Amino acid sequence: MYQSLRSHCVQSYPEYEILFGITDPNDPAAAVVQRLIREFPDRALRLVQCEKSLGANGKVSSLAQMGAVAQHNVLLVNDSDIRVDPDYLRTIAKELAAPGVGLVTCLYRAVPAHTIASKLEALTIATDFMAGVLAAERLEGGLRFGLGSTLALRRSDLEAIGGFEAIADYLADS
């Protein structure tokens, strides 16, 4: 988790903030985030305690609470196990700036740990998940959904559909 979260702290992008949401103050991830805050004192990093339950989907409930305190108009959502290259934000922002684009997402590749469960999950992502996404893109003439590994959108577009709160009771990933 540390390496994945750290990869977001070293982006070649002029100004951004990173909000880390937790629902339980005893979550071990809080210590990882505190380490990053100490390591990158010049970065806008914040640990957000997401105490409210706004719906059945805990992740979306946390996103709504983090979105309420976010400082920028462009929001990027991803998971704590996503590791990115230093040009990640610049690439995503460029895609979002294209005319007619309201949401940017991207495929991801699983890197398995040494357990059989992890290896099976990576195999599933490579053979089932990615193929399904590519089939949806082909059949629909473009993706009409975003993947929780990366969702980038403007705050105004999110608000136009009712914010994260509008999907807080959907149990699928955001």
Q: What is the pLDDT of residue 25?
A: 92
The pLDDT value recorded for residue 174 is: 44
The two beta strands, 44-49 and 17-22, are parallel
pLDDT at position 107: 82
Q: What count of other Cβ atoms lies within 10 Å of the Cβ of residue 50?
A: 21
The alpha carbon dihedral of 156, 158, 160, 165 has a sign of negative
* pLDDT tens, N- to C-terminus, the chain (174 residues): 999 999 999 999 999 999 999 999 999 999 999 999 999 999 999 999 999 999 999 999 999 999 999 999 999 999 888 999 999 999 999 999 999 999 999 888 888 889 999 999 888 888 887 888 888 889 998 878 888 789 999 999 999 999 999 999 998 764
Q: Specify whether the CB–CB gap between 47 and 80 falls below 8 A.
A: no
Q: Any residues with CB less than 8 A from the CB of 82 and at least 6 apart, and which? A: 4, 108, 149, 150
Q: What is the four-CA torsion angle of 126, 109, 169, 61, rounded to 10 degrees?
A: 160
**pLDDT computed for residue 173 by the predictor:** 60
Cα-flanking dihedrals φ and ψ of residue 76, to 5°? -130, 125
pLDDT, position 24: 95
Alpha-carbon gap, residue 45 to 34, rounded angstroms: 9
Domains present along the chain, CATH in parentheses: 2-108+147-167 (3.90.550.10)
- Give the tokens for residue 78: 């991803």
pLDDT at residue 40 in the model = 98
